Amino acid sequence: MEEEIPMVTMWGFSTENFQRDSEEVSSLFGLFEKDLFAAITRKDELLRKDVRVRFLGRTSLFPEKITQMFNKVEEMTKGATKYSLNLLLAYGGRAEIVDAVNSALNEGATEVTEEMLSKHMYTAGLPDPDLVIRTSGAKRLSGLLPWQTVYSEIYFVEKLWPDFSRGDFGDALRFYEMAQRRFGK
């Protein structure tokens, strides 16, 4: 099954993950650095596939070397238009809302509207997700995009992310196809 899905957003590291054991966090940073280096060295592949990569969250909380790599990947893929890969790193839904409100207030807002707040979210300019796939058997979103997922269809699956297969993805897409999307109407 080859699906043409133009935008995927994945959560890779929450704001709460910084509270984990320092060795575990350091190990995760090492993985991010390794994967970012691989992406940078395979630049031609990303560009050939026309994938724009964005890192959304409080990314400045990462070590400077990793933050610079985030910026390099974003810069080298900014012209891509066919696909978008959004990676939520140092992301928390409540933190995003707080940051959006503070950003609006810093611009001089005295009252915040939904439209204004949307323009200050990390995902500003991106469409809200149509489908959220939650692995691990948990029946909660754990702070994933609370503003943007108001009308998203949510598919829960028992499998852990590493075990999630192409067939499982097909099941999620069939679930979505069966949904009657009313957007509150």
Give the DSSP per-residue string, 52-111: EEEEES-GGGS-HHHHHHHHHHHHHHTT--SEEEEEEEEE-HHHHHHHHHHHHHHTT-SS
Mean pLDDT for the chain overall: 92
Lowest mean pLDDT among 27-36, 66-75, 110-119: 27-36
Res. 135 pLDDT band, cuts 50 70 90:
very high
Given this structure, which CATH class describes domain 1-91?
alpha beta
pTM for this predicted structure: 0.89
pLDDT of residue 2: 64
Instruction: Let me know the angle formed at the C-alpha of 63 by 61 and 67, rounded to the nearest 5 degrees.
Output: 80
Q: Lowest-pLDDT range, 42-46, 74-78, 103-107?
A: 42-46
The confidence band for 44, taking pLDDT boundaries of 50, 70 and 90, is: confident
pLDDT 10s digits, 92-131: 999 999 999 999 999 999 999 999 999 999 999 999 999 9
